[in-house]
Structure 1
């Protein structure tokens, strides 16, 4: 299954997009290969299992390493770069039907400086007293109290 998740051709195409890793002057644990971490991430996404259940044999690294690498790559904008590259690849192959494509508002930022819509005017001329709340005159206490 691991080979299906990340074929060699796909890895060769996306590997240059990954951020480079600076050498650690103080040493530490060796850096887990990006391909192994990506395989673990893809396995979790494909199978919809919890990170805690990611088998070590699948990614050859810990689940925490895969989860942290996912976060680091997100912050570095890697997923957007991979997405753009895959769209370009599909476009060159003629696999995208652009007239049928749509853009979700969650993926497109609103333009800055856009005019705001006008405030909605009230429909009634005057406020009407509420029909659900009413007051009564204070009850008289009996002279015996």
Structure 2
């Protein structure tokens, strides 16, 4: 059975964060539960290949797709994915690979096929049910925080929620870092109200002005967020919002952000 879906470095960081299993019955213990690492293989398989949960190959992952979905549900409800992301961000900061002096923010539409939570009429796709990924990254494109909304939500409405979602990143001596120095954004965020909010938080807003010709030079720093969206959407499950439960799609999105952070750690050695 191949472990390429869940390499050792990913599993070593995730295993301590998993919630404890409930105690088994002594007289009638029943069937042994599937291995957690095998369940994670099933989750990552769906994240990468975008197959239905019932089509997860048990001979490759070591568990059924139903078991993988249940572990995704349980681990999402336990808050495992944000903690994993925070652990990796702290390692990046400790290695000097995190630069929060300049950050960028943006949103990206994805197709939605379920009329569940966080799905709304898309203004760019004839009012079909749609969702949106909102992302803030550091200067190198490392994802700091991510959120999910309906496709009819304006990008600027997620500016302050995303800033609040950035964890207090440790890794070096001193106070944890959780605020960027400067924030780059496109014309969709051009509102003086939000500029004042950023200034009040100690963040310098670098937001393009509407009605001003292109060529401001902000794109030289802001393009990294588009590259990170491209990397996220290489995980095929994230290109379309299939899950009826929005928290499960968000959990997969946070897992993908953690994998991107882990890849950056690997390339630094």
Range class of TM-score, shorter chain:
0.5 to 0.7
Which of these residues, 37, 40, 49, is aligned with residue 38 of structure 1? 40
Map 1:1-145 onto structure 2 (within 5 A).
2-25=2-25, 26-102=28-104, 103=136, 105=158, 107=162
What is the root-mean-square deviation of aligned Cα atoms in Å?
2.4
Per-residue CA deviations over 1:75-117 (Å, capped at 9, x if unaligned) read 111111111111112221222221233446254569xxxxxx9
Structure 1: tracts of 5 or more residues without a match:
111-116, 118-145
Distance 2:9 2:164 in 1: 33
Q: Distance in 2 between matches of 1:64 and 1:94?
A: 40
1:2 and 1:39 in contact (8 A); partners too: no
Q: 1:49 to 1:89 in 2, by over 3 A?
A: same
Question: Which structure's CA Rg is the greater one?
Answer: 1
Considering Cα pairs closer than 8 Å and 6+ residues apart, tell me whether 1 or 2 has the greater RCO. 2
Q: Number of residue pairs matched?
A: 111
2:133 counterpart residue number: none
